Amino acid sequence: MKLLQAAALWLSSASASRLASEPKAPSYRAELVSLHQSLVEIASVTYAENAVGSFLVDYLTARGFIAKLQFLPPSNASDAPEGTKPRFNVLAWPGPTRQPNPSVLITSHIDTVPPYIPYSRSDPEAELNGDTVIAGRGSVDAKASVAAQVTAVVELLAAGRIDPAAVMLAFVVGEERSGDGMRHFSDALATLPGSGFKAVIFGEPTEGKLACGHKGFFGCTITAHGKAGHSGYPWLGKSATEVLMRGMVKILDTELGSSDVFGNTTVNVGIIEGGVALNVIPAVAVARIAGRVAIGPEADGGRIVTERVRDVLKGVDADAFEIDCVNGYGVVECACDVPGFETVTVNYGTDVPNLKGDHARYLYGPGSILVAHGADEAIRLRDLEAGVEDYKKLILHTVNDNDDAGEL
């Protein structure tokens, strides 16, 4: 009995000590957690974003925003499922004006990678605290950014810190595939006379650091052609699989481009397919590769690297390869000279290059990309709340002509 009493006393003291050291919860904690939970609970794998978009429209209009649904044309992508509901970007700005002319755009994406993972919280019966871990698909990428951005704008408006006419929200679809949501938004802006933003704040998981940029990207489908024959007489045929394998190894071993800031260009051989039977020399083999480009310029870096890939494959076999490369671009640089932020560069792609214009580009978000697409995707509540405060700083920095944001 005395041992149990001592243990209870120790646990009580430990809990009191932890609570005493826990920073005071922000006034918006419950609302932030509720918004984040609602977003994560709604499955929104790319091409199936309709429900989460509808939720956001209702949420924002209930808080005095004007919201517009910007519908996309039906996707002709080969992996788009048939019968999906209409897809749309959510555009919103503080009311009551119906004709916004904002100087700053705050944006992120509402689609996720598959598969859907249900929402959960560590110790759900306990009181929320900074160490509470929130898990589920999109809890980091990028619904943490969406929830923190919305909360930051609402808080700044309520405090009278920003002019309602200065800001606009855009939550787009399709970032995890082709970026068709942001591309559509960008194309629509180009048709409006006098439209354009002074600055755009993009939300992606950067571990709470301000990204100075990210690597570029290219994707290639590489088909090797050979000659079929009996596997017992390999000299009478030509193995497309063997040629393809030699080509892939050569690509992986070749320096395709590097820089001091972004490191080395890397290639992932994601898919290899070939042959019809184990005792038949394969006539055709196909590989699909993705490259993370470490060189510029943004417009041509991807093309430069894919040309190097072509040269490598010609060196392996001048006649065997058919190469189809798409979506190439070089390193993407972002503004990162903002007081109070650690900086970083990241290796993944974003919607930053999909929005055309001469605006300043900022890339920031709570949570880590290292768990974003995995089974253990999760974020601590303190990091989500830090995201709100950091978005406030970035919004004030951009709205106030890059003057110091001051104390929050």
Taking residues 292-307, report their average pLDDT: 97
pLDDT in tens, 320-332: 999 999 879 999 9
The whole-model pTM stands at 0.89
- Give residue 83's pLDDT: 76
Assess contact for 324 and 220: CB atoms under 8 A: yes
Residue percentage of the chain with pLDDT more than 70: 91
Amino acid 397: pLDDT: 97
Q: Kindly give, in sequence order, each residue whose CB lies less than 8 Å from that of residue 185, ignoring residues fewer than 6 positions away.
A: 70, 89, 91, 170, 172, 355
When pLDDT is averaged across residues 249-253 and rounded to a whole number, the result is 98
Query: Residue 99: its pLDDT value, please?
Result: 84
Q: At residue 338, does pLDDT exceed 70? A: yes
- According to the model, what pLDDT value does residue 407 have? 42
What CA dihedral angle connects 46, 49, 52 and 58, to 10 degrees?
150
Average pLDDT, the chain: 92
- pLDDT at residue 405 in the model: 43
Q: Quick one: pLDDT band at residue 404, thresholds 50, 70, 90? A: very low
User: pLDDT tens across 223-241, in order?
Assistant: 999 999 999 999 999 999 9
- Token pair listed for 104: 């700053």
Query: Would the pLDDT of 193 be above 90?
Result: no
More confident residue, 78 or 336: 336
| pLDDT average, residue stretch 180-209 | 91
* Least-confidence region, from 71-85, 98-112, 116-130: 71-85
Nearest Cα residue to 182 out of 310, 67, 91 = 91
pLDDT at 14 exceeding the cut of 80:
no
User: Is pLDDT of 175 > 50?
Assistant: yes
The pLDDT value given to residue 100: 87
Instruction: Find how far residue 82's CA is from the centre of its chain.
Output: 25
Mean pLDDT calculated for residue range 10-34: 70
Of 33-37, 165-169, 175-179, 195-199, the one with minimum mean pLDDT is 195-199
Residue 21 reports pLDDT greater than 80: no
Q: Tell me whether strands 216-225 and 284-293 are parallel, antiparallel or unpaired.
A: antiparallel
pLDDT at 314 exceeding the cut of 70: yes
Confidence of residue 196 (pLDDT cuts 50, 70, 90): confident
Residue 81 pLDDT class (50, 70, 90 cuts): confident
Judged against a pLDDT cut of 50, whether residue 370 lies above it is answered with: yes
- Catalytic (active site) residue 125: no
Of the residues 175, 176, 377, 385, which is catalytic? Answer: 175
Q: pLDDT: is 98 or 212 the higher one?
A: 212
Look at residue 22 in the predicted model and tell me its pLDDT.
65
**pLDDT value, residue 408:** 44
**What is the model's pLDDT at position 326?**
84
- What DSSP assignment string belongs to 185-232? HHHHHHTSTT---SEEEEE---TT-EEEEE-EEEEEEEEEE-B-EETT
- Average pLDDT over every residue of 137-151: 98
Give the mean model confidence (pLDDT) for residues 297-314: 97
Alpha carbon 338 to its chain centroid, in Å, reads 22
> Residue 16: is its pLDDT beyond 80?
no
The β-bridge relationship of strands 210-214 and 343-346 is parallel
pLDDT at residue 82, as a whole number: 79
